[in-house]
């Protein structure tokens, strides 16, 4: 999803660029014939206009017709979304094994499920926390779905420690318990919380601490970061359902997950997944 501020900045840049380009002059000339010289247009006023005059004409025209800005905003947003979707589809196809079948990531639900959902998340992400019940509900209600969890600690060292703790717990067969409690328990997810939860769920704490610094755990984090970069991921959470995506945690996340799982189940993926 394109942030409104980023979209506004891009729009302003596009308008300014258009003003000082020959293309804009042609547009203005077509809207008001005889006002501006346009090379090759077949109309001349006896002298080319300066940049300031062109800017003033375009400004006045846009002020009188502000609906053009709305149309530009809509078109720009549409093109950006199409471009991002195309990039993500290509990245999903190129990285299908790492996304859907990597042994570095924990898998919940049916390991042989006919549809795979991948979640990128950070344990200190509020939207990720809000989405947990919907993801668990999907796992409980659909015995044919597989869910793959990709740690993506984007909120600093504390998030990194939490991600390492969950991945280290995986080596002792307690990943999902650690995962759920890191989200459910109050306070920031960090190493202190990881160690407290590890004691509560009966893990070998010294072994967990050693595993947190292991090459295996680091390789899992590196893989998730590389995949996120390939997908152009701009924040967490992100859900892949086959080659379909749901960015963020919308209020109807569960319904969207079910809808997309059903679509992939019936229609398959456009690309490899």
Beta-sheet pairing, 145-151 with 238-241: unpaired
pLDDT at 252 exceeding the cut of 80: yes
Which pLDDT score is estimated for 78?
75
Q: How confident is residue 3, by pLDDT bands cut at 50, 70 and 90?
A: very low
pLDDT of 23 higher than 80: no
Mean pLDDT of 151-172: 98
> Which pTM was predicted?
0.72
Residues 230/86, Cβ–Cβ less than 8 Å: no
> At 21, is the pLDDT very low, low, confident or very high (cuts 50, 70, 90)?
very low
Mean of the pLDDT values across residues 94-104? 96
Query: Do 200 and 157 contact (CB within 8 A), yes or no?
Result: no
> What is the C-alpha R_g of the chain?
26
Query: If 0-12 CB within 10 Å is exposed, 13-18 middle and 19+ buried, where does residue 33 land?
Result: exposed
Q: In the chain, what is the greatest distance between 2 CA atoms, to the nearest angstrom?
A: 88
pLDDT band at 218 (very low <50, low <70, confident <90, very high): very high
Q: What is the mean pLDDT of residues 171-186?
A: 97
Task: Please answer whether residues 193 and 185 qualify as being in contact, where contact means their C-beta atoms are separated by less than 8 angstroms.
Answer: yes
DSSP, residue by residue, 71-117? HHHHHHHHHHHHHHHHHHHHHHHHTHHHHHS-TTSEEEE-TT-SEEE
How large is the average pLDDT for residues 6-33? 49
Q: What is the pLDDT of residues 139-156, one digit of tens each?
A: 999 999 999 999 999 999
Domains of the chain by start residue, with CATH: 4-65 (no CATH), 96-267 (3.40.30.10)
């Amino acid at each position: 999803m394109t942030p409104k501020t980023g979209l506004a900045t891009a729009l302003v840049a596009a308008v300014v660029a258009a003003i000082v380009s020959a293309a804009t002059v042609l547009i203005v000339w077509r809207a008001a014939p005889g006002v501006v010289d346009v090379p090759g247009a077949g109309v001349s006023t006896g002298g080319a206009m300066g940049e300031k005059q062109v800017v003033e004409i375009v400004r006045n025209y846009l002020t009188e017709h502000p609906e053009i800005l709305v149309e530009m905003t809509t078109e720009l947003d549409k093109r950006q979304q199409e471009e991002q979707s195309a990039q993500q589809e290509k990245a999903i196809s190129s990285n299908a094994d790492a996304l859907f079948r990597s042994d570095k990531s924990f898998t919940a639900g049916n390991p042989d499920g006919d549809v795979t959902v991948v979640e990128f998340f950070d344990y200190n992400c509020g939207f990720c926390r809000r989405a947990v019940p919907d993801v668990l509900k999907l796992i409980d209600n659909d015995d044919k779905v597989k869910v793959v969890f990709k740690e993506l600690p984007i909120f600093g060292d504390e998030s990194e420690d939490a991600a390492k703790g969950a991945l280290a717990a995986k080596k002792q067969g307690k990943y999902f318990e650690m995962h759920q409690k890191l989200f459910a328990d109050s306070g920031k997810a960090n190493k202190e919380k990881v160690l407290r939860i590890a004691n509560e769920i009966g893990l070998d704490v010294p072994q967990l601490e050693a595993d947190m610094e292991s090459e295996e755990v680091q390789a899992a984090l590196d893989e998730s970061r590389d995949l996120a970069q390939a997908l152009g991921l701009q924040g967490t959470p992100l859900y892949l359902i086959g080659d379909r995506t749901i960015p963020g945690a919308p209020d109807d996340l569960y319904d969207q997950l079910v809808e997309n799982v059903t679509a992939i189940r019936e229609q398959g993926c456009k690309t490899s997944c």
